[in-house]
Structure 1
Amino acid sequence: MQAAREIRRQDTHVVIVFITAAPQYAISGYEVQALSYLLKPVPWFAFSQELKRSIAALQRRSADSVLVEAGSNRLRLTFSEIVYAESIRHTIVIHTLGDTISMSGTLKELETQWRGHNFFRSNSCYLVNLRHVNAVEGQECVMSTGERLRISRPRKKAFLSALVNSLGADPQ
């Protein structure tokens, strides 16, 4: 359980399945959001079904999140918590609902990696999560955090079009 707590502390999206002979600990699995709990001896069919279920859960989660390298740390972020990414002097700063994360790279690389997840390049400095745009006022978009980000004139029409299209998309 201690190892599961530490794993969960590091990454909230890891799939955890307990395999044990002690049924009294099954309740503890809820504490770390374990996907399931298998009792030994585990028949091959039950194990293979659980493995398929775990892989499916992982695939669903990975489609809604991204792994970023910030220095020596690797962090998993859900796309829904990313408000925008900003380029500052060859450094990318990812602004989430609760934190900022600095990493090396380019907005162009992020734009390619995050394609299909409702992000749009509003100007040369910002890659905006359209799900967090609350309003467009003049040449700025107002984000869910209250921040105002510049929209370049040449990109404004495409930005507004992408914003309208994102409103009709399935929520993440």
Structure 2
Amino acid sequence: MNIIICDDDEAQVVQIERFLSTRNGYTIFSFHSGKELLSSLPQSCDIAILDIKLQDTLGTKIAEKLQAIYPEIDIILISSYPKYVTNAFHIKVSQFLVKPINKKTFLSEFDYILAQRCSKHYRWIVTNKTSIHALFPDEITFVEAYHRHLYVHTQTQTIDICGSLKDACKELECYGFILCHQGFLVNTKYIHHIEDDTIILSTGDKVPISYRKRKEFIERYTKIITR
């Protein structure tokens, strides 16, 4: 995986490189101006981390050029000026972070982007006596556990398999699924709204939230939808 960092503040580049040193499997290309970056583009790029206000251009302009060159790229824009956040999301960047950048926050957002990228390719293999299914996480609306069985719900079918909700959590939690009840794991992408102790999905399905898990569920869900 190739990562581009571009910031005219050399100390900021070094800081991000240090943050990323805790993760393995990446080649980092660091630049200090838009001109330097565009004249030395790598063959491929998966994630770009760009300062919005470079000395020779705006990071948003660089972002648009990178999106044209690398259609699957994820872009993180950083700035000392929160006022740029609207411009950032007009060009559909993956995240906007305000300086000074906190390591924990940065790595949390970075890992979330990685999980989203992986979800485009990862398939959960589920089997029963008669069939094998390879499901993309985005296909699954929620998973229900009952008497040592899992009922994996999609928009078009319900698949009955043997298994535990604990195993389903291990497979799906990093893809935006949250345990909302001892018997239910829900895909937050399908949540339309929440009414008291019930989650209403965009499919029309209703999923319960247990009293014990409600507070944690709301906190985690809020964090996901405000990314």
Q: Are 1:152 and 2:210 matched, yes or no?
A: yes
Q: How many residues align?
A: 111
1:116 maps to 174
1:71 maps to 129
Q: For residues 75 and 156 of structure 1, what CA distance do their matches in structure 2 show?
A: 31
Q: For residues 222 and 144 of structure 2, what CA distance do their matches in structure 1 show?
A: 22
Contact kept in structure 1, 2:190 and 2:202, CA below 8 Å: yes
Q: Are 1:89 and 2:158 matched, yes or no?
A: no
Q: Which amino acid aligns with 1:157?
A: K
Q: For residues 156 and 203 of structure 2, what CA distance do their matches in structure 1 show?
A: 10
Alignment of 1:120-135 (within 5 A): 120-135=178-193
C-alpha deviation, 1:113, in angstroms: 1.6
Contact kept in structure 2, 1:65 and 1:76, CA below 8 Å: yes
Listed one character per residue, the Cα deviations across residues 23-74 of structure 1 (whole Å, up to 9, x for unaligned) are xxxxxxxxxxxxxxxxxxxxxxxxxxxxxxxxxxxx9577442111122422
Q: For residues 118 and 217 of structure 2, what CA distance do their matches in structure 1 show?
A: 28
Q: Which amino acid aligns with 1:109?
A: D
Q: Which has the higher contact order (CA 8 A, sep 6+)?
A: 1
Contact kept in structure 1, 2:150 and 2:161, CA below 8 Å: yes
Q: How high is the sequence identity, in percent, across the aligned residues? A: 22
SS at match of 1:116: helix
TM (norm. structure 2) is 0.46
Q: 1:117 to 1:60 in 2, by over 3 A?
A: closer
SS at match of 1:122: strand
1:106 maps to 164
Listed one character per residue, the Cα deviations across residues 126-147 of structure 1 (whole Å, up to 9, x for unaligned) are 0111111110100111011111
Unaligned stretches of 5+ residues in structure 1: 1-58
Q: 1:107 to 1:61 in 2, by over 3 A?
A: closer
Contact kept in structure 1, 2:148 and 2:163, CA below 8 Å: yes
Listed one character per residue, the Cα deviations across residues 70-92 of structure 1 (whole Å, up to 9, x for unaligned) are 22422111111100000121110
Q: For residues 85 and 145 of structure 1, what CA distance do their matches in structure 2 show?
A: 14
Q: For residues 128 and 219 of structure 2, what CA distance do their matches in structure 1 show?
A: 32
Unaligned stretches of 5+ residues in structure 2: 1-116
TM (norm. structure 1) is 0.59
Q: For residues 120 and 130 of structure 2, what CA distance do their matches in structure 1 show?
A: 21
Q: For residues 142 and 72 of structure 1, what CA distance do their matches in structure 2 show?
A: 31
